Structure 1
Amino acid sequence: MTDADPPEVSEPVVLKGGKAVEKWKEGKGVWNDWVTKNPVAKIEFSDVDFGSSSEPYSSQSFRGFLFGRSGVSFNAVTSKIGDVSFDGAEFGGGDVSFDGANFVKSGVSFEEAVFGDCAVSFDNVECSKITFSPKVIGSGSITACGMKVDGPAIFRLPPSAKSLKQFDLSGSSFNGPLTLEGDLTTPPDLRSVKAAHHVELGKLSVELKRDSIFPFWPLSELSRLASDREDAAKLRRLKEIAEANRDHHAALRFSADENRARRWRETPRLASVLDMIFSGTSNYGQSILRPFVWLCLLGVIAAMFYRCAACPAYADCWQAARLSLSNSLPFLPQSRTLRLDASEALYGETTSLWVDIVMVVQGTLSFVLLFLIGLGLRNRFRL
């Protein structure tokens, strides 16, 4: 080869069809050795009928198998005689596709499997049951659009799933119970999903990806903008499913996240400011501690003002505290007497305009905070 000759480029290794089946039937050890020696090989099981090719096995196992960095395809495979296990299997960074696979009389299991930064696709898969409970999953995506599951469907995602960019189950049909668990930053898309039985969302939480629109503002955390415009619609669907399954606490979480996703995008500016205040003071009625702390802080600040506004000869910390307490709890029968006595002790017969304004403001804000405390109690102990 002369200097002018282009460098030789080796053809990518592809293991497909019958050769892939024969290699698989030799067992995990032989298979993993081959993949270790060919880490960038493309593996194709597409259109394989495991019902006939796996004889005399009664089930198809890929337990503990390794798959290379170039991905693997099980598109349109068929299995009708037993469950298919991928428990403990390790998938590299290439795409993992089961599109159109038919496991009508079989279940599919991915317990303790490991996925790299890859796209995992179950579009239009039909199976009797599925357990997708990987040990690790990278920053790729999971799509299962148009999936049909006759029995239980479990999607239990590990902590690493926070890096997922997409989790799409839209248009799928679940004739058995559906369970979704995990801490995500992208809400699962369950729009147009048909669920004939219970949908368990109690252990599913979403921490929305949001962008700061005022990065140098002290309250930038509350004023952030949802990164994806579709998040509000996805969360609205999760809320509807939780309400239909009488999971009140999950419905509250998804409703709060939906409001955050709508803020500054679908909600007008003034309403977004009110929404931001509602979120900061009570976490949308989910927190009891937050409004209680704000109520105490308001009472302390008001008491300090009442004492400073009094004449030096009449200034008394205890009387200022009594006046602040009576304004914080105006519904108590004793509040009126306390307020009159404390006001007279601090200011005599006449109070200044500023004191009157502060009393009105404190009373109004205290009423709102007491309402939020009651709302939090109601939501916490609702039966």
Structure 2
Amino acid sequence: KDIWNEYIDKHPDANIDFSYVDFSGRREEGEPFDFSGYKFPKKGNVDFSDANFGKGDVNFWEAEFGKGDVNFNRAIFGEKEECSDCSSVGFTGATFGEGNISFLNTQLGQNATVFFDLATFGKGRVSFKDSEVVNGDISFRAVVFGEGKVGFSNAKFGNGRVDFSNAKFGNGRVDFTSAELGHREVIFDKAEFGDQGVCFCDVDFCKTNTDTINGEVTFEEVTFGKGAVDFEHAKFGKGTVSFDKSSFGDGDVNFKDAKFDEGDVKFNDVDFGEGSVKFNDVDFGEGNVDFSGADFGEGNVNFHGANFGEGSVNFSYVQFVKGIVSFHHAKFSKGIFFGAKFGEADVSFYGAEFGEGDVDFRLCEFKGNIDFRELKDINKLSSFSLRNSIFNKSLDMSDNSFNCIPDLTNTKLTNQVSLDRMNVNPPNTYKGGDGERLCRLKEISEDNKNYQQALGFHVMEMRAKRHKLHKWDRRFDCLFDTIATYGNSITSPMIYLLCTTLSFTYIYASMSIVEHAPAHWYDWIDRFLIGFLYSLSQVLPFVSAGRNSANDSLKQLFPCETIPTEVYYFSLFQGVLSFVLLFLIGLGFRNRFRL
């Protein structure tokens, strides 16, 4: 090594060419092929393309490469020896110069661990395109990339662990398109990316992890630069995927059509920067999804068609600043937006689908228009709460049918709230607080001059509060509900009035027959018709013809005899009942045609 380094010092412009060299026969079995501490020309190029390093360890630890290009294209490293469980390929602490560095289509190891920890790359391009590690780990911890483009497209990094934690990428574009990154763990924690954008499109994370391997993917506390960040069509494995406390720059963030699996998905306290954010048509898998504390900046936010799977969805204390927020046709199982703040642009949940859980929008602030129209499968919801929220513009909840009672209590409503064609199906049993929620819905309907809807909510409110009444008050309340639906029905009291009239017709005719038996069968019919006329006169005593017909029909029912006292008792009782029922019919007409 010393002789080599001395020669390099004397010939700084020399080119080093080991291309197509087979090193496998140039070392003893069990001994590493060691370039650690070697110096390479400061200005010349270094070429190891198509070299074969054979079985065993290969070390370039703290090797120093000059300003020229470094080429390891199609080289074969570190197949493990029979006497060893695995081999290692080490570039730990290596220093690459300002030229282009290429590991194109390189086999970096088979059953080997590959280290680039603490390595430093210069200003040139760095390419690991189509490179491969078979059944081994690869580590780029704390590596420093220069200003050139960094490419890992189509790289395949085996069944092992991929670690880019604390890596620093320069201002060049970083491209991992269609790479297969680790089948055990992928770690980018505290990595820093430059300003020309990052692409993880079509990347397959943790492709073949099994039930015994969690396959976690972590991008925690990562700093993305000003460029766009693209994870479109990326596939994540069964383990947890975490972007907690990461920070995105001014560029767009794109997770369109990404697919997650069984693990939880975490974006806690993430700063999404100033660009637009796209999660449309994302499949979040079966785990919980957590965006709590995230800041979405000033760009548009799109979750159109996103499927949040079977787990809970948490957007608590999220901040949406200025951009349009769209959850069109998104699918939730449970949605928690507690304390979220939405910006001045519109927010839309049009056609969103909620599952069997709770939907929580308590303590939210909406500065723009909010759209909850035509929500799907909301008949399965346990609760839908907007309690204590602030709406600076319109709220639209039209065309929905709830089996739970939406909670709009203690909300601040500045503009009109649209509840057109919104139905709340009466529950089998009312819960505590239902009366308060229904009262608030009634108030909103009255403000909208939708009195029919307000009456419907009033009926449900009275039923919900019935349990608070005393025994007899509760019975009268039930009677009022049964006969007239709290003044909301016209048909029901009419039917009761007709039944009452016919019942008393039967009573009067029967008493007449007992006192004076008919001679012929048609006299029976005549007696009932006269009884009906008398009964009808008790229903309408305020009509002049009613008073005259009452006297005449009574004389025909009981001719030449003293009228039984019971007839007068029944007449008075019928008159009172008829008056009450007529009043309820009038109340129903008044409520039905109220302007």
Matched, 1:210 2:428: yes
Larger RCO of the pair (alpha carbons < 8 Å, separation 6+)? 1
Matched, 1:237 2:443: no
Matches within 5 A, 1:173-192: 173-181=390-398, 182-192=400-410
- The one-letter amino acid paired with 2:311 is G
* CA–CA separation in structure 1 for the residues paired with 2:234 and 2:589: 58
Deviations 1:191-243 (A, max 9, x none): 221111112223333223234xxxxxxxxxxxxxx2x1111111122222333
Contact 2:401 2:423 in 1 (8 A): yes
- Aligned match for 1:320, one of 528, 531, 535: 531
**Equivalences for residues 32-181 of structure 1 within 5 A:** 35=259, 39-52=261-274, 59-116=276-333, 118-128=334-344, 129-158=346-375, 160-181=377-398
Q: Could you say what secondary structure the match of 2:355 adopts?
A: coil
C-alpha distance in structure 1 between counterparts of 2:311 and 2:218, whole Å: 14
8 A Cα contact 1:14 1:41, kept in partner:
no
User: What is the CA deviation profile of residues 51-109 of structure 1, one whole-angstrom value per residue up to 9, with x for unaligned ones?
Assistant: 35x5xxxx322222211121211222222333212222212121111111111202222
Larger Rg: 2
Equivalent pair of 2:403/2:427 in contact (CA under 8 Å):
yes
Q: How does 1:249-268 map to 2 (within 5 A)?
A: 249-264=452-467, 266-268=468-470
Distance apart, 1:298 and its partner CA: 1.4
Query: What is the CA distance between 1:147 and its match in structure 2?
Result: 0.8
Q: Does 1:382 align with 2:594?
A: yes
In structure 2, the CA distance between the partners of 1:99 and 1:357, relative to structure 1 (3 Å rule), is same
CA RMSD of aligned residues (A): 2.7
Structure 1 partner of 2:479: 277
**Structure 1 contact 15–43 (Cα < 8 Å) conserved:** no
Q: Distance in 2 between matches of 1:364 and 1:355?
A: 14
Instruction: Report the Cα distance in structure 1 between the residues aligned to 2:496 and 2:408, rounded to whole angstroms.
Output: 37
Structure 1 residues 194 and 32, CA, compared in 2 at 3 Å: closer, same or farther? Answer: closer
Query: Residue 168 and residue 14 in structure 1: after superposition, are their counterparts in 2 closer, same or farther (change >3 A)?
Result: farther
In the TM superposition, what is the alpha-carbon distance from 1:149 to its structure 2 partner? 0.9
Q: 8 Å contact 2:441–2:454 — kept in the other structure?
A: yes
2:513 matches 1:296: no
Tell me which residue corresponds to 1:195.
413
Q: Distance in 2 between matches of 1:233 and 1:88?
A: 34
Residues 121 and 15 of structure 1, relative CA distance in 2, 3 Å threshold: farther
1:135 Cα deviation (Å)? Answer: 4.5
CA distance in 1, matches of 2:220, 2:374: 31
Unaligned runs of 5+ in 2: 1-210, 236-254
- CA deviations 1:235-267 (Å, max 9, x no partner) are 122222333343322222221111010112x12
How far does residue 17 in structure 1 lie from its aligned partner after superposition? 4.9
Moved more, 238-247 or 149-158: 238-247
5+ unaligned residues in a row in structure 1: which ranges? Answer: 1-7, 212-225
Using the alignment, how far apart are the partners of 1:101 and 1:350 within structure 2? Answer: 86
Higher normalized helix content (fraction of residues): 1
Shift of 1:177: 0.9
Please say if 1:308 is aligned against 2:525. no
The number of aligned residues is 352
Q: Partners in 2 of 1:193 and 1:120 — Cα distance?
A: 17
Query: Which of 549, 555, 564 does residue 352 from structure 1 map onto?
Result: 564
- Secondary structure of 1:101's counterpart equals coil
Partner letter of residue 248 of structure 1? Y
Task: Kindly provide the amino acid, as one letter, of the partner of residue 124 in structure 1.
Answer: A
Shift in alpha-carbon separation, 1:32–1:78, aligned structure 2, 3 A? closer
Aligned pair in 2 of structure 1 residues 92, 327: CA closer, same or farther (>3 Å)? same
Q: Secondary structure at the match of 2:320?
A: strand
Q: Distance in 1 between matches of 2:266 and 2:545?
A: 80
Moved more, 39-48 or 154-163: 154-163
CA pair 243-66 structure 1, distance change in 2 beyond 3 A: same
Alignment CA distance shift 1:16-1:334 (3 Å): farther
Give the Cα–Cα distance (whole angstroms) in 1 for the partners of residues 567 and 550 of structure 2. Answer: 12
- Alpha-carbon contact 1:13-1:42 (below 8 Å) kept: no
- Partner Cα separation in structure 1 for residue 377 and residue 264 of structure 2: 26
Partner residue of 1:25 out of 223, 227, 230: 230
- TM-score by length of structure 2 reads 0.55
1:136–1:320 CA distance, 2 compared to 1 (3 A): same
Superposition deviation, residue 371 in structure 1? 0.9
Match of 2:540 among 315, 329, 348: 329
**In the alignment, residue 531 of structure 2 is paired with which amino acid?**
A
Q: Name the CA distance, whole Å, in 1 between partners of 2:282 and 2:291.
A: 14
Identity rate, percent: 31
Describe the shift of the 1:121–1:12 C-alpha distance in structure 2 as closer, same or farther (beyond 3 A): farther
Does the 8 Å CA contact 2:317/2:337 hold for their aligned counterparts? no
Question: Residues 11 and 306 (structure 1 numbering): CA distance in 2 closer, same or farther, change over 3 Å?
Answer: same
Give CA-to-partner distance per residue, 1:135-157, whole Å, 9 cap, x none: 43211111111111111112235
SS at match of 2:273: helix
State the 1:382 CA deviation.
0.9
Shift of the 16–305 alpha-carbon distance from structure 1 to 2, 3 Å rule, reads farther
Deviation at 1:378, TM superposition (A): 0.8
Secondary structure of the structure 1 residue equivalent to 2:343:
strand
What is the CA-CA distance between 1:16 and the residue it aligns to? Answer: 5.6
8 Å contact kept, 2:409–2:437: yes
Seen in structure 2, the aligned counterparts of structure 1 residues 17 and 156 have a Cα distance that, compared at 3 Å, is: farther
- Counterpart-to-counterpart distance in 1, 2:572 and 2:593: 32
Which aligned segments of 4 or more residues in structure 1 are displaced greater than 4 angstroms? 12-19, 21-24, 28-34
Letter in structure 2 aligned against 1:123: G
CA shift for structure 1 position 18: 7.4
Alpha-carbon distance in 2 for matches of 1:9, 1:187: 45
The CA distance in 1 between the partners of 2:233 and 2:512, in whole Å, is 85
Question: Which residue does the alignment assign to 2:50?
Answer: none
The alignment partner of 2:353 has SS state of coil
Instruction: Note if contact 1:14-1:43 (Cα within 8 Å) is conserved in structure 2.
Output: no
Q: Match of 1:191, SS?
A: coil
Q: Report the CA distance shift for 1:100/1:33 in structure 2 as closer, same or farther (over 3 A).
A: closer
Letter in 1 for 2:558: Y
